[in-house]
Amino acid sequence: MKTPKTDAERTKKLKDSITECIVKAEDMGYWFYAPTLNLWLTPDELAVGIEKGLYLWHPRFWQLRDPKHLLDSWERQAEDLDKKIAPLKKKLEEYKPKIKVDKIKT
C-alpha cells in the first residue's frame, strides 16, 4: 500500500482506520479512552467528532476500554469521599465554640 501524499489522502486514511476501530468498539461495547488527556468518548461521540474534524488522531492514541470500569472507579471514589464527609458533617453539627470570635482581643 502506498503512502498518502496529500493532507486529504492522509485524513481519509486516518478516518478509515479510526472507523474500523469504531466498529470494533461498538461490537465490544467499549468506549475510547485517550490516557494523555483523560478523555472518554463513546463510539458515536468519536464518529461525530471526526466528521467535524475533531479527534483526528492515530488509532494508537486511543485505548478501547469498558466504560463500566470507569463507573466502578467513580463509584468507589464517591464512597471514599462519603466516608470522609460524614464525620466532618457530624463534627460541624456538634461543634459549639467556647469563645465567640468577636470577643477575642487582638
Task: Please state whether 5 falls in left (phi above 0), alpha (psi between -120 and 50) or beta.
Answer: alpha
From the number of C-beta atoms within 10 Å of its C-beta (0-12, 13-18, 19+), residue 56 rates as middle
- C-alpha gyration radius of the chain: 25
pTM attached to this predicted model: 0.69
What angle is formed at CA 31 by the lines to CA 30 and CA 34, rounded to 5 degrees? 135
pLDDT by 10-residue block (mean), the chain, 106 residues? 74 89 96 96 96 90 95 93 89 77 58
pLDDT at residue 21 in the model: 94
Stretch (H or E) spanning 85: helix 67-94
